[in-house]
Amino acid sequence: MLYGESPLITVGVVVRNREWIIGKMLNALLSQTYPHDKIYVLIVDGNSSDKTVEITEKILEKGDFKGYKIIVKECSIPEGRNLCIDNMQGDALLSWDSDVIMDSDAVSLMVKAMIENKADIVDVKCVEIFVNSIEDAEVKIKQAKSMQNQSGAAIHVVSVTGMGHTLVAKAVFNNLRFDPDLTVCEDLDFSYRAGKKGYKMIALGHVLTFDVNMWKKGYSDTHIDMPLKYAVRGIRKKAEIQVLTYNTKITAKVTISFFLKNKRYLFYLGYAPAVFLTICGLFLYMPLTLAFPSYLLAFAIWQIRKRGFTRGLQSTLRSILIGVPYASWLVFYSIKNAWSDAK
């Protein structure tokens, strides 16, 4: 937890190929009312192939923060987050995702809440918005604000949280690091383990942030862009932590709700019966041999229309290499935990 009115904090940003949004994100940081001489900025770039680093350097060198550092190194997201921990300054690390826009008073309110509530981790409410171009973001953010109910200034204790807009006291890092195997869900796993160790986590319902996504380049593209060696790492562990953090008690109803909410996993599971029907067709009824090719082709066409030819094929390939085993592990851990909870 923090002490003092305006302690020194580090804002850590893990980024890769985000030239379309990084400037807007950094301008939101520059607009913060929290004293800039109490903010140290740390950028970990996963070896971007676009102008992300160039834009970042240009903006930060004109800023008035206590200081900044840009680390360019090929890394996964959890490895990047650990680099932020290793290079942070001050009493807390604010993990700020590169496609997240915060209101100008967000940092001040988060620090204040951490001090007043003696909390170790503070998260805020995040609203996803989708735009056709970055120029549309400001209009969409205003529309989203008008639709949100921010009355009551709700502050509540939580058992798990993300890390895209999250303030973490330095003391937490004395016992925890991000698991490098979890190239997704690393934030859920970190907060889950923090809760098990007794660290206090709170969420602020009256502080809004906005996760900006492009319709033609949605959030899932982060995983398409991710090198395959990172994407296949820790599939079983990722599935387990996603199940564990979805609900405090796993039941059949909760499991059904999860898969209906995440329908892509149901599609991945559909590959198995499609392959079975194709095999049956070789011996019983020839038209059935088209089951798997047709299933795969339908997905490929949808992905190509959504993401373009190359990225669409990448998504289709990963739906088999990563999606199928991941969805299968989700089923396994859902059944395992439902069975354990039922005892």
pLDDT tens-digit map of 169-188: 999 999 999 999 998 899 99
25-37 mean pLDDT? 96
Please check the confidence at residue 219 and state whether its pLDDT lies above 70. Answer: no
109-116 mean pLDDT? 95
248-262 mean pLDDT? 85
13-35 mean pLDDT? 95
DSSP for 199-243, written as a single string: --EEEEEEEEEEEEEETTB-TTHHHHHS-HHHHTTTHHHHHHHHH
- End-to-end Cα, the chain, rounded Å: 38
The answer to whether 303 and 316 have CB atoms below 8 angstroms apart is: yes
- Domains of the chain as residue ranges with CATH: 9-215 (3.90.550.10), 234-342 (no CATH)
22-35 mean pLDDT? 96
Please check the confidence at residue 240 and state whether its pLDDT lies above 50. Answer: yes
Token readout for 91 is 């009493």
Q: How confident is the model at residue 215 (pLDDT cuts 50, 70, 90)?
A: low
How does DSSP classify residue 319?
I
